[in-house]
Structure 1
Amino acid sequence: MKLTVVGGGSTYTPELIDGFARLRDTLPIEELVLVDPAADRLELVGGLARRIFAKQG
């Protein structure tokens, strides 16, 4: 499944990403796309999202 998060640079996104990572067995996300007009926030949250997924396996 491909999932897109509009407003992906939000401070709420890391919590959402953590939930997706915890549900990886029942919610098979193959690609996650974060979209946000604020490139700096998107870069920050994107890096955090990658670390969350890496930690969860």
Structure 2
Amino acid sequence: MPALEVVVAYMKVFCVMFKHWFRDLFKSLTSSTPLKNLSAETILITGAASGLGKGVA
């Protein structure tokens, strides 16, 4: 595969990734969906006590 084809392939992948990133960022900033109220809920946090679960608990 010539070097130019590799560069073009990487540019295509980069453009697709940038498009999806930008679209999702725009959606997350303009979303007006209210968050679910979990104040009266029991939540189970699982894990190995060394990651996110330990910090949340």
User: TM-score, normalised to structure 1's length?
Assistant: 0.34
Higher Cα Rg, which structure: 2
Q: Which has the higher strand share?
A: 1
Q: Relative contact order: is structure 1 or structure 2 higher (C-alpha 8 Å, sep ≥ 6)?
A: 1
User: TM-score, normalised to structure 2's length?
Assistant: 0.34
